[in-house]
Amino acid sequence: MKFILIFLLFSILSISAKNLESKIYYGDYVDISFAPYQVEIFLDYLPNCGGSLLSETFVLTAAHCTESDKNPKSYSIGVGTRRILDIVMFNIKVIKIIDHPEYDKTTVFSDFSLFQMEKVKKFPKSAAFVKLPNKDDVLKTGEIMNIAGFGRTENGVTIFLKGGSIPIYDQEKCKELFGHLEKTMICAGYEKPMSTGSCFGDSGSGLVRRSDGKIFGVTSFIFSEKCSTHPAVYSKVTAVLDWINEIVFKDH
């Protein structure tokens, strides 16, 4: 059954890959070393969301990624490679899903989830854990952040990891654009056509500061179907550090 699903996934991605162009509006094809913490979360062996490795057994992602199915047995985590078909062949089972207790699907408040994976004997050498920020770490408007994922491109889906760099967007201007912005949310990206930015399928992936590799955001939602004409909104990791540390690092 798994082989059949992998074959179907390969067929779907291969059809979309035929239309890929060298000019990439939403970023560039990158090696896994660009974002070694990047994972792909599969739901019934099909790509669902992105996420970031916190440890060998925990991944940080978005809570809205699990709205359609809360059964951990339905999910698996692909780690350590830039090619999505390789990820399908090597993935780790999920044994527990922990949504943030204050997550609200209506307001998308506290859009965080922790996926606990089974411990494997051999972890990919190409994978690495993302760094957590300190509570008092502050982002400045214009500061450069890295994003990565297997989400939608201007030509459809992608079979290779894509990544890019975007600036922190002015938060007051973001409030004006969208009418409301929670204090636990961050705007990042550009307000111009054909710009790098997070898109559908990138939900749950990290917003990581380029200068020190610390994760400050989890991709939550976008306001434009074209993805490149508005900044995206990310859930602020510094707001939930106590929750993360209590669950992930309680025995350390």
Query: Residue 192 class from Cβ within 10 Å (0-12 exposed, 13-18 middle, 19+ buried)?
Result: exposed
Contacts of 225 (CB under 8 A, 6+ apart): none
CB count in 10 Å sphere of residue 60: 27
Find the catalytic residue in 99, 111, 195, 220. Answer: 111
**CA 74 and chain centroid, separation:** 19
Contacts of 29 (CB under 8 A, 6+ apart): 82, 160, 161, 162
Question: Scanning the structure block, which residue is given the tokens 């949504």?
Answer: 99
Find the catalytic residue in 52, 113, 203, 228. Answer: 203
CB count in 10 Å sphere of residue 8: 12
Find the catalytic residue in 52, 64, 202, 235. Answer: 64
Distances (CA, A) of 45 to 88, 131, 220: 7, 28, 22
CB count in 10 Å sphere of residue 206: 29
Is 203 annotated in the active site?
yes
Contact in structure between 39 and 48 (CB atoms under 8 Å) = no
Active site residues: 64, 111, 203
